[in-house]
Amino acid sequence: ARVVVLVSGAGSNLAAILAAHDDAAYGARVVGVVSDKADAGGLDLARRAGVAAVTVAPGDFVDRAAWNEAVAQAVDVFRPDLVVLAGFMRILGPAFVGRFAGRTINTHPALLPSFPGAHGVRDALAYGVRVTGCTVHVVDDGVDTGPIIAQIAVPVEDGDDEESLHERIKVAERALLVETVGRVAREGMRIEGRRVVLGGVS
Ligand code: GRF
């Protein structure tokens, strides 16, 4: 399956997928990386892996709608079977979500529906939960609200700050995302209301 990954930051989730995609048995191949930030580390990772990398920066467009359309076109060029948001820190509007409906997934560093939004790790820590985790879900028109594909729990340790907790989550998150991208690519994904079924067997 042809996979396009959207990043905004360091791209450690992208790096994990790139490490897996060299194995033909994985079933997914990253064919393009798109970022909203020209200095995103994920773009350099892509280039070093020989994968096309494109920046579509909001500041280059007259408004959000024009930017959304440009992101959608940049992704379309790669003819993706699956679009993966891996640390992409902007909201993609209905124009984008609609064009890649049912084949766009996102990873979020909390156990949704708890702690959605841009500060999930900070909010979980502030709330005082003893267990948090990460979620891979289908992207729908909301923010972190789409049907859940996979989750994994991660303990909060005494003395954690946002950085130490996020790093522990990211270790689990990278493994969960790599496994989920591979399964969706090899087995396909069916969305039945709030449930997501991977593979032919329900
Ligand atoms: C990930 O934890 C992602 O869930 C969150 O930001 C982090 C991005 O990390 N939105 P990276 O850019 O993949 O290293």
Model confidence pLDDT, tens digit, residues 133-175: 999 999 999 999 999 999 999 999 999 999 999 999 999 999 9
Q: What pLDDT is attached to residue 201?
A: 57
58-79 average pLDDT score: 97
Average pLDDT across the chain, whole number: 96
Q: Which residues have CB under 8 Å from 45's CB, separation 6+? A: 11, 14, 15, 18, 33
The yes-or-no answer on residue 108 being catalytic is yes
Q: What pLDDT is attached to residue 23?
A: 95
- Catalytic hit among 108, 119, 137, 166: 108
Q: What pLDDT is attached to residue 70?
A: 97
Alpha-carbon span 193 to 190, nearest angstrom: 10
Alpha-carbon span 32 to 80, nearest angstrom: 9
Strands (E), 98-186: 104-108, 131-138, 148-155
Alpha-carbon span 47 to 31, nearest angstrom: 11
Q: Which residues have CB under 8 Å from 120's CB, separation 6+? A: 108, 109, 110, 144
Alpha-carbon span 131 to 188, nearest angstrom: 30
Could you report the per-residue pLDDT of 73-99, keeping only the tens digit for each?
999 999 999 999 999 999 999 889 999
| Confidence (pTM) | 0.96
Rg from Cα positions in the chain: 16
For residues 73 and 94, is the Cβ–Cβ distance under 8 A? no
Report which ligand 1 atom has the smallest distance to the Cα of 7.
12
Report which ligand 1 atom has the smallest distance to the Cα of 166.
2
Q: What pLDDT is attached to residue 95?
A: 87
79 is in an annotated binding site: no
89 is in an annotated binding site: yes
